[in-house]
Amino acid sequence: MTEGLVLGEGALSAEALAAANVHPESGLATDYLNHFNEVVMLLEMIGDMPEMAEEILDWRPCPYEEHFTRTGYAGAETVIAAYAASPHALKAHFETIVAALDDALEEAQDKLRAEDVAGAVMLAATDIAPLLAAARAAVHGRIEGEGVDESAADQAEVDALFG
Q: DSSP string spanning 16-72?
A: HHHHTTB-TTT--BGGGGHHHHHHHHHHHHTTT-GGGHHHHHH-----HHHHHHHTT
| Tens digit of each residue's pLDDT (9 = 90 or more) over 33-63 | 999 999 999 999 998 998 899 999 999 999 9
Check residue 143 and give its pLDDT: 85
Identify which has the larger pLDDT, 116 or 72.
116
Read off the pLDDT of residues 80-96 as tens digits, 9 standing for 90 and up: 999 999 999 999 999 99
Per-residue model confidence (pLDDT) at position 4: 79
φ, ψ of residue 58 to 5 degrees: the values are -80, -15
If you average pLDDT over every residue of the chain, what do you get?
A: 88
Residues 160/115, Cβ–Cβ less than 8 Å: no
The pLDDT value recorded for residue 1 is 52
Taking 50 as the threshold, does the pLDDT of residue 161 lie above it?
Answer: no
Residue 150 confidence (pLDDT): 47
Please indicate whether residue 85 or residue 158 has the higher confidence score (pLDDT): 85
159: pLDDT confidence band, cut at 50, 70 and 90? Answer: very low
SS3 state at 121: helix
